[in-house]
Structure 1
Amino acid sequence: MRAVWIGFALGVLWLQQQAELPGWLALSALGASACALIAVARLCFVRGAVWSSRAGWFAVLVAAACVGFGYAAWRAQTRLAFELPREWEGRDIVVSGWVKGLPTRSADGTRFLFNVDTADVPVERFPRTLQLSWIADDAPPPALEPGSRWRLNVRLKRPHGNANWGVRDAEAVLLAHDVRATGYVNLPLQAVRLPGKAGGIGTMVDGWRSAIRDRIAAVLNDAPHMGIVVALAIGAQDAVSTADWQLMRRTGTSHLVAISGLHIGFVAGLAGWLAGWLWRRSFFIGLGLPLFVPAQKVAMASGALFAAFHAALAGFNVPAQRTLWMASIVALGYLGGRRVAPSVVLAWALGLVLLVDPWAVVSAGFWLSFSAVGAILFAMSGHARIARNQSLDSPEEEGERTFATRCLSALRSRIAALIARMRSGARVQFAVTIALAPLTVCFFSQIPLIGPFANAFAIPWVSVFVTPAVIAGVALPAPFDAFAFRFAHQLLECMMAGLQLLSGPAWMLWSLPQPDAWAMAAAAVGVAWCLAPAGWPLRWAAPLTWLPLLAPASAAPTEGAFRLTALDIGQGSSIVVETAHHTLLFDAGPGPESTHAGERIVVPYLQAAGIGALDALVISHADSDHSGGAPAVLESVEVRQLLAGLPPANPLWQTANAKGAQTVRCAAGQHWQWDGVDFSILWPDPGPLQGKPNAHCCVLRISSGASPAHDQTPLSERAPVTALLAADIEAPVERTLLTRDRAALRAQILLVPHHGSKTSSTEPFLDSIEPSIAVFQVGYRNRFHHPYAGVYERYKARRIELSRSDDDGAARIDAGETTLSLERYRQMHRRYWMDR
């Protein structure tokens, strides 16, 4: 069965990498191929030879991959068949249904899933699940209980996520949750609570989870680590504070916030032991239950049932599902009198997880969970368990030994057993650390060097003390639950204080760029090589395979060239400019007041690109869609200089100074060179800032192949590639720049002024620039209706190559000394769920 489930998983993974779903003809050919391979495998097994048996298992593996590919394609086609027609985007729709899952609450309102029963639109396959926001404007949203029925007036749009290199694909997450439209509750005063509640086990469990969250909130109120207690109780992580997240990421312990397989396994084992203990003592009440069913089987079944209950409280995340399936398979095998090999148990869990959710392979939790367990099984496979030594002395010899000698022998035996267990635990910790390090770089672009030591302290602390205290609080009635929750919080305060001491200096967090497929493959070989059983040849050479991961080749532009990456951050602006040895960030996108793009997109992109420091952060002006993400950037990345068009009272100046950044107000005439690339500020003029923020935006001009000061070669002969980052300037500023120096405005690359609004991109301005490429940074169906249709047609009429972030995702432009290339993310990295 190992080959079957591994092949099935490979097929599912293969499907999730496709740009388009296969048609029915391709699926039919795939099914025929699977049948033919099964027939070949049967013939190979009949022959019985070693080579024939191996060929048969290979045929089974490929056939299972075909089945997995077809199954995932069928599930995807079924789910994508429900969609919101484009003509119904942004229109009022009245829907009736019930609240699904656990709503997420914040100061801005409530976000929740809504299961639709009826909709007043003539759409045959209207989306079954919506992701809605109930915005807290004049009044806070009502308490949305899981299963409660409502009639709501909503405005929807098709599922759309930001598409950037190194950032999580939000559209894949929406598809995994069967969300085929997103939007918000319009006219909340007209919302009607309908009688009754939705039924079903899932709704009942969600109700329990909501009640537990409310109990914890009532007890701990505004306690600093309340979010962690909630996360350990019900798996909801939305209440974990930013400070806690940052500390746990620095120490590599963020996995402890989730209800992981380790927690479920520990608590399930404890529940199984308690059930067995009570079952054995049934003789004291005259029942004699072990005479009918052995206590070991009762303990095993009870542990599996409790694992199911705990996994349900966790919201059935991937680690919880894996643990549940593994516990169930082991329990079924034991009840049937069979011992199932650990690798077979893991393979069954892998297959069952993907049967339930084929999109699990696109989540980090899937890879981290299964890789950790697989590494432990592989690392421990060559190490036999050390049993406690038992004395084989004869009764006569035992009698001849003194009491002191027997005590000393027993003490030595216990010490030897303790040392053996410590060695085994250290090897497990080593295996998990080595196995997950490449995945940590792939998903989070970092390796916490203090992680093994922090986890050696934090894992047993959370598993042995904190989690049982939280579970006790869940199980106990009021007011006794308050004591358990407060005790758990005090334990967390001790743990967080210890992690704060261990976090150490900034160099303890090793930041690395996101690796490519070849570097990950080489690292995987190195992990298997390093964890192989004793006697494996050349184990000392295993770290060499990690060199592409830990010391990647530089992807920076060459001397005299630059790379410009316009991020897809929704409605806002953020552009990363890289030269051979320097990096500049022009604007940082929206912040907490809007979409949190600074911390959700800009910082993760910088980390994935291996950019640990910014030589300059340019904030063009004070509008929040350009400056809101700057505090997150200053908090997460070293910034050497802040160059901004901000009024003196803006708090960003003080924040940057506190982080050690040099602060300078941008003004026309400023000029510098990095690595043969010329940078110059064209606007605003020196002196006090006047007018609205758009009137004093920083305008940056970048030219490749800049010559040193002593080089007298004419500019026309050097033919540099030039980019103009125009921020949010409007027609008056455009006219002023035109009257000063038209030649300075000429550029092949243009960041479109003010997102393509009708107050900018005048005809004379475009005629003077003559761009070859123009980039529109706009949000999907943004409320400003950017870009304005007339302005967009103005660009198209000039046959300019256009890139829109709402259609193309992020855009990357490589500008050599005389060459120019454009890469659109959604074209180069397309997946079948994009724009569906």
Structure 2
Amino acid sequence: MRAVWCGFALGVVWLQQQAMLPGWRAWLVLALVAGGAAACIGGVNLRGGSLRFQRTVIWFAVWLLAACAGFGYAAWRAEMRLARALPVEWEGRNIVVQGYIKGLPVTDARGARFLFGVESTDANIAYFPRTIELSWIAEGAPPPALEAGARWRLTVRLKRAHGNANFGVRDAEASLLARDIRATGYVIAPAAADRLAGSAGGAGVAIDRWRGAVRARIDAALAGAPHRGIVIALAIGAQDAVSAADWLLMRNTGTSHLVAISGLHIGFVAGLAAWFAGALWRRSCFFGRDWPLWIPAQKISLTAGALFAAAHAALAGFNVPAQRALWMLGVVALATISGRSLAPSLVLAWALGLVLLVDPWAVVSAGFWLSFCAVAAILYAMSGRLRMHDHERRDPEPEATRVTRFRDACLRWLSNLKARLFSSAHVQYAVTIALAPLTVYWFAQIPLVGPVANAFAIPWVSLFVTPAVLAGVGLPGPLDAWAFRGAHALLDVLVGGLQTMAAYPWALLRLPQPGAWPLAAAAVGVAWCLAPRGWPLRWAAPLTWLPLLLPPPSGPSFGAFRLTALDIGQGSSILIETAHHTLLFDAGPGPESTHAGERVVVPYLYANGVSALDTLMISHADSDHSGGAPAVLAGIEVRQMLAALAPSNPLWAAARDARADVVPCAAGQRWRWDGVDFAVLWPDAGPLQGKPNAHCCVLRVSAAGSDSGGASSDGQAREFHRPFTALLAADIEAPVERVLLQRDPGALRAHVLVVPHHGSKTSSTEPFLDSIDPLVAVFQVGYRNRFHHPHPGVLSRYLGRHIELTRSDTDGAVRIEAAGPALSLERYRDTHRRYWMDR
């Protein structure tokens, strides 16, 4: 069964990497491969050869057949789920939907976000999405109380499920698909929303109500407490209330896994319940019962542990680590009750298969890989360690004194304690080693202080914080408030200790996101390092991790630069890289919108190996350009901030606090990095005048080269001869364009134009475009944004000039670079395409 479930998992992972779902030819090939594997299992072509050869062929055939089954099963599930998509022609139209609230709504000052289970609709759509994600925007009045299971009739405006697509950043669209969210939107005319009588039923709704009630009790007990979000996360698995400061601290110390209701917490609850049930069952004689004679106490303990684990996993919302722990406990309980003994690796394989049967998209989340790899590493590392037990009970010698017996008991206790501590240290060592490559891949960092932090945090959370939280869940009021406050006080101690550890300069090692080969080499090194004693050359295992420590791929050559326009929705953020320097032009929206600064910009910089910015340039104060700057200043070393901001803007103080030099942006500023010239064309020096769009920073970047030539298309490169030049126009409008044309039209000429003001009708005038004469135009726009950028008339101007266009809403992030006499253009959704994109 290990080969079956591992092959099945490989097939599922393979499917999730495909650019498109299999057509009939692919299904035919899959059927032929599966048929050949089945024939081998049945004995075909196994008449000759040794027994070992026959077993090897059969094992490989079983593995191959299981992989085909996993691929086919995941493809079938994907076809079924993608069939329920909102048609393009229904995007942006008013639709009346009737249904109920799913999950736990998230409420803040801007309104509420929630999942809505659709029961009926007035839209004539055959396969309307069953689950949609809605926002209820607070316009003048807060949204009403949205309770799980409550039925509503709402008028909504929807768009297809769409997520930002960036190099090295998690795929938000895959996350939407995994949660079966096939459309997103918002409630219009909230005053016309109609709360219907009754409520939805079912086990899922009952669990959501239970979770919502627990959350409300915690909110009442810990209103305004700084770590309230962690208490909520430990109680019900909802992590939306965890503060940004707590997330940053836990990520930097490698303890963020403790925020989720993980397998460790599930195991703790199951163990506690099993112990209590077994103790009560064994002592049934005190109640005049002989229950252990009918059913052994061990089976009762396992059953009680599995049931309580299921309840706790339900409270956690059945996240992947909770599912893994639940299935492992369930398999062990069933095997024991039926009188069978299973190897731990087989139990883990069953859990792997069951998780993927329920949710084939679990493999796109970091929690899946971290959870299963951690348990696999523990089992593998401990498999070669034998524990010696003294089964021979010796009665104390008659002449032994009480002092001697007490001394011997203390020595045995110390010996057992030493063995347990050594075993715990070995487990922590195995988990740290095994998860380091995955941590680099998913988070572009290795918390070097992690082993020490976890040695303190794991027992503290498991033995003190989690029991206090669970006591609060189980106790009635007002006792529950005391328990929750006690848990929060314990978290204060934990956070204080983690802050001390995170303050060390060596506490965190940031590394660029590795490719497939460095990751594979590191995986081999992990297996080599954790192998049993006696394995040859274990000391050489760390050499396989050297590719992870290599610096990021070399930047552009001297005299050239690379421009990356990130997909951050409606807003702008562009990274300019030279051979040894980096400049970030704008930082995208912040907490007031999509949190792009912390969710996209900073993770991209980490994954790309950018540990410091030579210059952070903020074009103007509009939130879609400057909102993400605080996240960048907090997460990345910024040596200089160049901005067109009013003196009272708080970003100046934030930059000074981050020890960055601050310089107002002004026309005439010039500098050269690695043979690349930078020139600020606007605004004029002096006090800023007019609205923010009137004094945006306009930056011209010019590389060395000779002049002539064409534009790139679909990743292809065309030759050019004039110096490779890019013009970043921010949000300037027609008046500023006219001023720039009057001053020096030749200074505007560029190969690449980041379209001004996202293609609004107030910019991109025809004389301006004619003066620039770009080969490539980059539109940074949000998918179906409320401003309707780019304007159709403006778009037609670019199309009429046969300019190569890129749009972040359809292409994702874009990389443009001059490679010798050629200009290369890479669109993320072309080179990293997955089958769910645009479906």
Distance across 2 between alignment mates of 1:725 and 1:576: 11
How far off its partner does 1:815 sit? Answer: 2.2
1:810 matches 2:809: no
1:133-171 CA-to-partner distances (Å, cap 9, x unmatched) read 111121111111111100000000000111001111111
Distance across 2 between alignment mates of 1:355 and 1:157: 29
Distance across 1 between alignment mates of 2:768 and 2:147: 55
Matches within 5 A, 1:340-739: 340-387=342-389, 390=392, 392=394, 398-552=397-551, 554-705=553-704, 719-739=722-742
Task: Please give the secondary structure, in 1, of the residue aligned with 2:666.
Answer: coil
Amino acid at match of 1:466: V
Distance across 1 between alignment mates of 2:41 and 2:317: 40
Matches within 5 A, 1:12-91: 12-43=12-43, 49-91=51-93
How far off its partner does 1:409 sit? Answer: 2.8
How far off its partner does 1:420 sit? Answer: 1.1
Identity of aligned residues (%): 69
Distance across 2 between alignment mates of 1:650 and 1:738: 30
Question: In the alignment, is the contact (CA less than 8 A) between 1:721 and 1:816 conserved in 2?
Answer: no
Question: In the alignment, is the contact (CA less than 8 A) between 1:386 and 1:420 conserved in 2?
Answer: no
Task: Please give the secondary structure, in 1, of the residue aligned with 2:599.
Answer: helix
Task: Please give the secondary structure, in 2, of the residue aligned with 1:399.
Answer: coil
Task: Please give the secondary structure, in 2, of the residue aligned with 1:478.
Answer: coil
Distance across 2 between alignment mates of 1:358 and 1:49: 36
1:122 aligned partner = 124
How far off its partner does 1:818 sit? Answer: 3.8
Distance across 1 between alignment mates of 2:515 and 2:390: 47
Distance across 2 between alignment mates of 1:278 and 1:404: 35
User: Which of these residues, 161, 167, 170, is aligned with residue 172 of structure 2?
Assistant: 170
1:156 aligned partner = 158
Distance across 2 between alignment mates of 1:517 and 1:634: 31
Question: In the alignment, is the contact (CA less than 8 A) between 1:813 and 1:821 conserved in 2?
Answer: yes
How far off its partner does 1:658 sit? Answer: 1.4
1:757 matches 2:757: no
1:202 aligned partner = 204
Distance across 1 between alignment mates of 2:32 and 2:802: 48
Distance across 2 between alignment mates of 1:222 and 1:706: 59
Question: In the alignment, is the contact (CA less than 8 A) between 2:529 and 2:541 conserved in 1?
Answer: yes
Distance across 2 between alignment mates of 1:501 and 1:390: 48
User: Which of these residues, 772, 797, 822, is aligned with residue 825 of structure 2?
Assistant: 822
Distance across 1 between alignment mates of 2:669 and 2:273: 69
Distance across 1 between alignment mates of 2:477 and 2:620: 53
Q: Which runs of 5+ in 1 are unaligned?
A: 708-716
Question: In the alignment, is the contact (CA less than 8 A) between 1:389 and 1:413 conserved in 2?
Answer: no
Distance across 2 between alignment mates of 1:237 and 1:650: 31
Question: In the alignment, is the contact (CA less than 8 A) between 1:575 and 1:586 conserved in 2?
Answer: yes
Distance across 2 between alignment mates of 1:603 and 1:129: 31
Amino acid at match of 2:88: R
Amino acid at match of 1:43: G
Question: In the alignment, is the contact (CA less than 8 A) between 1:115 and 1:130 conserved in 2?
Answer: yes
Question: In the alignment, is the contact (CA less than 8 A) between 1:514 and 1:608 conserved in 2?
Answer: yes
Residues 567, 553 of structure 1: CA spacing in aligned structure 2 closer, same or farther, 3 A cutoff?
A: closer
Distance across 2 between alignment mates of 1:697 and 1:507: 39
Distance across 2 between alignment mates of 1:599 and 1:535: 46
Distance across 1 between alignment mates of 2:306 and 2:387: 24
1:713 aligned partner = none
User: Which of these residues, 799, 802, 809, is aligned with residue 802 of structure 2?
Assistant: 799
How far off its partner does 1:301 sit? Answer: 0.6
Task: Please give the secondary structure, in 2, of the residue aligned with 1:154.
Answer: strand
CA RMSD of aligned residues (A): 1.6
1:332 aligned partner = 334
Question: In the alignment, is the contact (CA less than 8 A) between 1:705 and 1:718 conserved in 2?
Answer: no
Distance across 1 between alignment mates of 2:498 and 2:532: 33
How far off its partner does 1:525 sit? Answer: 0.5
2:717 aligned partner = none
Q: Which runs of 5+ in 2 are unaligned?
A: 707-719
Distance across 2 between alignment mates of 1:418 and 1:706: 70
Distance across 1 between alignment mates of 2:26 and 2:252: 47
Distance across 1 between alignment mates of 2:736 and 2:485: 59
Matches within 5 A, 1:229-378: 229-378=231-380
Question: In the alignment, is the contact (CA less than 8 A) between 2:501 and 2:507 conserved in 1?
Answer: no
Distance across 2 between alignment mates of 1:271 and 1:758: 66
Task: Please give the secondary structure, in 2, of the residue aligned with 1:561.
Answer: coil
2:777 aligned partner = 774
Amino acid at match of 1:152: L
Distance across 2 between alignment mates of 1:604 and 1:535: 41
1:614-635 CA-to-partner distances (Å, cap 9, x unmatched) read 1000001111111111111111
Question: In the alignment, is the contact (CA less than 8 A) between 1:159 and 1:180 conserved in 2?
Answer: yes
Distance across 1 between alignment mates of 2:241 and 2:545: 37
How far off its partner does 1:401 sit? Answer: 4.2
1:664-699 CA-to-partner distances (Å, cap 9, x unmatched) read 111111100111111111111112211111111111
1:481-529 CA-to-partner distances (Å, cap 9, x unmatched) read 1121111111111111111111123442111111111110011001001
Distance across 2 between alignment mates of 1:749 and 1:726: 11
Distance across 2 between alignment mates of 1:667 and 1:553: 33
How far off its partner does 1:718 sit? Answer: 7.9
Task: Please give the secondary structure, in 2, of the residue aligned with 1:312.
Answer: helix
Distance across 2 between alignment mates of 1:406 and 1:51: 59
Question: In the alignment, is the contact (CA less than 8 A) between 2:754 and 2:777 conserved in 1?
Answer: yes
Amino acid at match of 2:9: A
Task: Please give the secondary structure, in 1, of the residue aligned with 2:317.
Answer: coil
Task: Please give the secondary structure, in 1, of the residue aligned with 2:43.
Answer: helix
Distance across 2 between alignment mates of 1:789 and 1:278: 74
Amino acid at match of 1:527: V
Task: Please give the secondary structure, in 2, of the residue aligned with 1:113.
Answer: strand
Distance across 2 between alignment mates of 1:470 and 1:248: 19
Question: In the alignment, is the contact (CA less than 8 A) between 2:705 and 2:724 conserved in 1?
Answer: no
Task: Please give the secondary structure, in 1, of the residue aligned with 2:283.
Answer: helix
How far off its partner does 1:730 sit? Answer: 1.1
Question: In the alignment, is the contact (CA less than 8 A) between 2:552 and 2:609 conserved in 1?
Answer: no
1:91-148 CA-to-partner distances (Å, cap 9, x unmatched) read 1110001111111222211111111111001111111111111111211111111111
User: Which of these residues, 102, 106, 109, is aligned with residue 108 of structure 2?
Assistant: 106
Task: Please give the secondary structure, in 2, of the residue aligned with 1:218.
Answer: helix
- TM-score (norm: length of structure 2): 0.96
Question: In the alignment, is the contact (CA less than 8 A) between 1:388 and 1:413 conserved in 2?
Answer: no
2:712 aligned partner = none
Distance across 1 between alignment mates of 2:401 and 2:275: 37
2:11 aligned partner = 11
How far off its partner does 1:35 sit? Answer: 2.9
1:714 aligned partner = none
Distance across 2 between alignment mates of 1:414 and 1:688: 76
Moved more, 42-51 or 439-448: 42-51
How far off its partner does 1:405 sit? Answer: 3.5
Question: In the alignment, is the contact (CA less than 8 A) between 2:551 and 2:609 conserved in 1?
Answer: no
Distance across 1 between alignment mates of 2:99 and 2:388: 58
Task: Please give the secondary structure, in 2, of the residue aligned with 1:97.
Answer: strand
